[in-house]
Amino acid sequence: MGASYLAVGWNRQKKIYDWLIFGFCVLYLATFVVLTAIFNPDYTFETVLIRATSTLAVIILHVILSIGPLTRINKKFLPLLYNRRHLGVTMFCIILVHGSFSILQFHSLGNENPFVSLFTSNTHFGSLADFPFQALGFFALIIFFLMAITSHDFWLHNLSPKVWKTLHMFVYLAYFLVVMHVMLGVIQYETNPVFIIIMLTGSFTLITLHLIAGTREVKKDNVIYKLKQDGYVLVCDIKDIQEDRAKMFCVDAERIAVYKTGGKLFAVNNVCKHQNGPLGEGKVIDGCITCPWHGYQYLPQNGQSPPPFKEKVSTYDVKIEGTHVWLNPKAYAEGTERPGAVISVVNAE
Amino acid sequence: MSTVTVILSAIALYLVAGIIFTIIFQLKGLSKIDEGVHGSSWGFRIIIIPGCIVFWTILLRKWIKANKEIINPPKEHA
Mean pLDDT by 10 residues, chain A (349 residues): 79 93 98 95 93 95 96 88 91 98 93 93 88 95 98 92 91 96 83 83 96 93 84 94 94 93 96 89 93 90 91 95 94 95 75
Res B77 pLDDT > 50? no
Task: Give the residue from chain B lying closest to A149, CA to CA.
Answer: B51
> Looking at domain A228-348, which of 2.102.10.10, 2.40.50.140, 1.10.3720.10, 3.40.50.920 is its CATH number?
2.102.10.10
Distance separating alpha carbons of residues B7 and B15, to the nearest angstrom: 12
Host H or E run for residue B61: helix B56-71
Share of chain A above pLDDT 90, in %: 72
Tell me how many residue pairs between chain A and chain B have CB atoms under 8 A apart.
64
Asked whether A232 and A279 are in contact (CB, 8 A), the reply is no
How far apart are alpha carbons A278 and A1 in whole angstroms? 19
User: Residue A21: what pLDDT?
Assistant: 97
In the prediction, which pLDDT does A277 show? 87
Instruction: Please give the C-alpha separations between residue A275 and each of A161, A169, B55, in angstroms, as whole numbers.
Output: 7, 12, 20
Minimal C-alpha gap between B35 and chain A (Å): 7
Higher pLDDT, A60 or B71: A60
Contact check, Cβ <8 Å, A154/B36: yes
Q: Decide if A310 contacts A2 (C-beta within 8 A).
A: yes
Q: Which of A4, A120, A146 lies at the smallest CB-CB distance from B2? A: A120
Secondary element (H or E) of residue A341? strand A341-342
Amino acid at A274: H
What angle is formed at CA A319 by the lines to CA A318 and CA A321, rounded to 5 degrees?
Answer: 150
What is the pLDDT at residue A196?
A: 85
Closest C-alpha among A304, A281, A299, A278 to residue A289 = A299
* pLDDT score for B1: 67
- Tell me how far apart the alpha carbons of residues A285 and A246 are, in angstroms, rounded to a whole number: 13
Interface touch A150/B39, C-beta < 8 Å: no
Interface probe, candidates A113, A119, A154, chain B, greatest B C-beta count within 10 A: A154
Q: Give the per-residue pLDDT at B4.
A: 92
A8 touches chain B (CB under 8 A): yes
Cβ of A150: how many Cβ atoms within 10 Å?
23
B35 close to A (CB below 8 A): yes
**Distance between CA atoms of residues A260 and A263, nearest Å:** 7
Using alpha carbons, select from A347, A293, A339, A349 the residue that is nearest to residue A321.
A347
pLDDT at position A173 is: 98
- Sheet containing A297-298: which strands, arranged edge to edge? A283-285, A288-290, A297-298
Per-residue confidence (pLDDT) for residue A349, from 0 to 100: 58
Q: What percent of chain B has pLDDT over 90?
A: 78
In tens, the pLDDT along B4-63 reads: 999 999 999 999 999 999 999 999 999 999 988 998 999 999 999 999 999 999 999 999
| Interface test mutation site (partner B, options A149, A157, A167, A311, max chain B beta carbons within 10 A) | A149
